[in-house]
Amino acid sequence: MDQSRRDFLKKAALGTAGITLGAHGIQASGMKRMQGANDRINFGVAGVNGRGKAHVRAIAESENTSIGYICDVDRRAAEEAANMAEKLTGNRPEIIEDFRKMVEKKDLDAVTTAAPDHWHTPMTLMALQNGKHVFVEKPCSHNPREGELLTKAKKKYSNLVIQMGNQQRSALTSIQAMQDIRDGLIGEVYHGKAWYANQRGPIGMGQRAPVPDWLNWELWQGPAPRREYQDIWVHYNWHWYWNWGTGEINNNGTHEIDICRWALGVKHPTMVNSAGGRYHYNDDWEFYDTQIANYQFEGGKMITWEGRSCNPFRFHDRGRGATIHGTKGTILLDRNNYIAWDLDNNEIKHKKEGEESATMDTTGMGSLDVKHMTNFLNAIREGEELHSPIDEGAISNHLCHLGNISQEMGRALHIDPHTGKIMGDGQAMQMWGRTYEPGWEPKV
């Protein structure tokens, strides 16, 4: 693992130094796509109203790729993404509304998905069953059972590559920080603190309304049990409803919780306890705008996540980030920086990512998209080690689900550290999976 990261640092320093999001960078990547057609990877991008646009740009900025298909149930979003892809690559992708039809295309090599959370696992499994590599955004699953299905699918489809989109795993600064932690820079690490603070407004009370003519509501719902359309759900507020979303801890906490877990070298916890609620507004939001989740691990280690969706007070002047605490000092990591202090609070190291990535908007576009996508492509072409293989990503995602389950149960959960299963709490285990619309049940 350490040697692989060192090799990646060298490759990335050479390979990404000249990548920009400006016209020159686009032209350069276009020239590369003209070379080595036999090595070109043709993509289909699913879910392009928000985060999917970052996928389009990352693919366009990557070497020897093409975007053959855009898939979205919103006709307006699909057209906009197709126009964007055409501008960046010189070729206009075909628009396909139904994901099931897109993955059947013989010339399609890989799929990326940034659709709503309830689609992530079903889309991944459909793509694998049709022989496609998959880049799936976090959270990779809607519930713990889906994470199990993805891990099982990795073993079954071992010839295919599945990467989760927690892009900070590809940040050169974070990779360097992990090496420094292993080398003992801050001693024995025992605590990771992750946080996210935003200023989201109220979403109001949903009202039944006619389905817009630009939206295929039946396909948008897909695997989820059917609901009559309401005017506040599409496109972003679905995050805050159990039927489709996974709450802020999965929406954003996944990233920093994953960084803490990576730094501490831990997998499943032994105990999870979460407290919070929907405090800031009185509206239809079903999850929690304020949540503090604590995770305890074997070996005397712990992770804490503090999420405040509606109060933007920052830690270390950052709306999001993670601090790793050890016996000799502390490291702060975000998508753009790595800072280390000793126990006297003297700064002993500070490195910045070469190009910045957005941290607080709904698209999160930036240089880490290209680096993470490059790692995905290198894994397909050369067998390079993935920075976030799906079974590893699923563990971080699983911690977030456990936080939500503990919060909903109103009590601590005792966890088997070998399997991640909840022990001695049948009521909590009822939240392990979900009900699907008949005929849409995901299978490996």
On average, the pLDDT of the chain sits at 92
In this structure, are residues 251 and 245 in contact, taking their beta carbons and an 8 Å threshold?
Answer: yes
3-class DSSP state of 91: coil
The Cα–Cα gap between 96 and 85 comes to: 14
Q: Beta partners for 46?
A: 71, 113
CATH class, range 2-169: alpha beta
* Banded pLDDT at 5 (limits 50, 70, 90): very low
Tell me the whole-structure pTM to 2 decimals. 0.90
Q: Which of 387, 431, 392, 434 is nearest to 409 (CA)?
A: 431
Q: Which residues pair with 413 in a beta bridge?
A: 272
Phi, psi of 59 (to 5 degrees): -65, -45
pLDDT band at 368 (very low <50, low <70, confident <90, very high): very high
User: Is residue 116 scored above 90 in pLDDT?
Assistant: yes
CATH classification code of 172-205+228-357+390-429: 3.30.360.10
Is residue 150 within 8 Å of 162, Cβ to Cβ? yes
Q: Is 87's pLDDT higher than 60?
A: yes
DSSP code at position 160: S
pLDDT for 37 equals: 55
Q: How far apart are CA 193 and CA 302, in angstroms?
A: 9
Confidence of residue 38 (pLDDT cuts 50, 70, 90): low
Q: Hey, what are 288's tokens?
A: 């929690």
For 356, half-sphere exposure in the C-beta direction (CA atoms, 13 angstrom radius) is 3
Mean pLDDT of 231-238: 96
What is the pLDDT confidence band of residue 366, given thresholds at 50, 70 and 90?
confident
Strands (E), 221-328: 271-277, 290-297, 301-308, 320-326
| Cβ neighbours of residue 288 closer than 8 Å, sequence gap 6 or more | 247, 248, 249, 276, 277, 278, 307, 309, 407
pLDDT in tens, 191-204: 999 999 999 999 99
> Residue 35 above 50 pLDDT?
no
Place of tokens 């890989």: 110
Average confidence (pLDDT) over 39-60? 96
What digits encode the pLDDT tens for the residues 370-381?
999 999 999 999
CA atoms within 13 A on the CB side of 36: 13
Whether pLDDT at 13 is above 80: no
Grouping H, G, I as helix, E, B as strand and the rest as coil, residue 303 is: strand
The answer to whether 399 and 272 are in contact (CB under 8 A) is yes
The rounded distance, in Å, linking the Cα atoms of 370 and 373 is 5
Is 50 exceeded by the pLDDT of residue 10?
no
Is the pLDDT score of 15 beyond 80? Answer: no
Domain ranges of the chain: 2-169, 172-205+228-357+390-429
- Residue 26 confidence (pLDDT): 32
Give the largest CA-CA distance in the chain.
62
Q: Counting every residue, how long is the chain?
A: 444
Beginning with the edge strand found earlier in the chain, give each strand of the sheet holding 162-165 in spatial order. Answer: 94-96, 65-71, 41-46, 110-113, 133-137, 162-165
Point out the least confidently predicted range of 1-15, 162-176, 268-282, 334-348: 1-15
pLDDT range class, residue 170, cuts 50, 70, 90: very high
pLDDT at 63: 93
**Chain segment 271-311, per-residue pLDDT in tens:** 999 999 999 999 999 999 999 999 999 999 999 999 999 99
The SS3 assignment for 397 reads: helix
For the cut 60, the answer to whether the pLDDT of residue 329 exceeds it is yes
Q: Is the dihedral of CA 27, 28, 31, 37 positive or negative?
A: negative
More confident residue, 23 or 177: 177
